[in-house]
Amino acid sequence: MAGCADGSRTGLLGRSYFHLHLVSDSTGETLIAVARAVAAQYEGVSAIEHVYPLVRSSKQLDRVLNEIDTAPGIVLYTLVEPDLATRLEEKCRELGCPHLSVLAPVHALLESYIGAASTARPGAQHMLNAEYFKRIDAMNFTLMHDDGQLPDDLDQADVVLLGVSRTSKTPTAIYLANRGLKTANIPLVPGQSPPEELDSIRKALVVGLVASPERIVQIRQNRLLSLNADDDTAYVDKAAVAEEIALSRRLFARRNWPVIDVTRRSIEETAAAILDLHREHALKFIVT
């Protein structure tokens, strides 16, 4: 383990750093998500990520092994080609680096339960199948219906998001689109009525997004600062913002639309809550 122990460093304020090598024969998204989810549980420790996607040949693996040799650390990998995985493991053992095939335990579990061996297909989850094209269609729809655009066909959406400015409508919509949901988002602007097309929605799930006035003001101030704009405006006045949010809550209550407070939620957490609401909504729609 000596080689890997040398790979860790202590930086400013006593924070520890270590090298984390993520080796994949596909895009590396799975590895990155797993690694970051776990690393986030350790306070005072940060990973220096080295990401190697699309490693599918010995030549490509040679570069990876050289970099691990230069900066030893923890190695996580998703390589379905046995020869490549074996070479990587041998190098890690030589350097004393902890290493783990992230998908191996899941493969073993499924193989034991199903009673059939898997077929080695790098990037199989990214095949150009119906699900893939559904996500692309959802993304196109979502981009075309951002910020209140094209309200005439709102009921073609799976989800419609409403909220005052800076409630993370657009990034949440993009995330949902990547999960295959056609998502429109509509800003609630002081002095302007929501589009009349909302009255005729039958199929789409409408969700209201809110946040605390303090959080909205903070985000808006940062936005104005980035634009070098004057901040002497009701846009960042706490009382005015609080009234905006109160009006939006009353609108959501009148329409009986579900509300999600995004003050302390990440985009992923907000989207997860909406996906759960959409599953329930879709089931009711099918039943009726």
Please report, in range form, the residues annotated as the binding site: 163-170
Q: How many CB atoms lie within 10 A of CB 49?
A: 16
Cα separation, 63 vs 279, whole angstroms? 45
Q: What element of type H or E holds 115?
A: none
CA distances from 31 to 24, 26, 153 (A): 7, 10, 38
Separation of alpha carbons 139 and 136, rounded Å? 5
Instruction: Tell me if 25 sits within 8 A of 55, measured CB to CB.
Output: yes
**Which H helix or E strand runs over 18?**
strand 16-24
CB 99 within 8 A of CB 73: no
Return binding residues for ADP.
Answer: 163-170
Helix extents (H) in the chain: 2-5, 29-39, 58-70, 82-95, 104-114, 130-144, 169-178, 213-226, 238-255, 267-287
Residue found by looking up tokens 């929501």 in the block: 194
**Of 33, 19, 16, 34, residue with least CA distance to 98:** 19
**In which residue are the tokens 């699309």 written?**
54
What are the backbone angles phi and psi of residue 9, rounded to the nearest 5°?
-140, 155
Q: Which DSSP letter does residue 25 get?
A: S
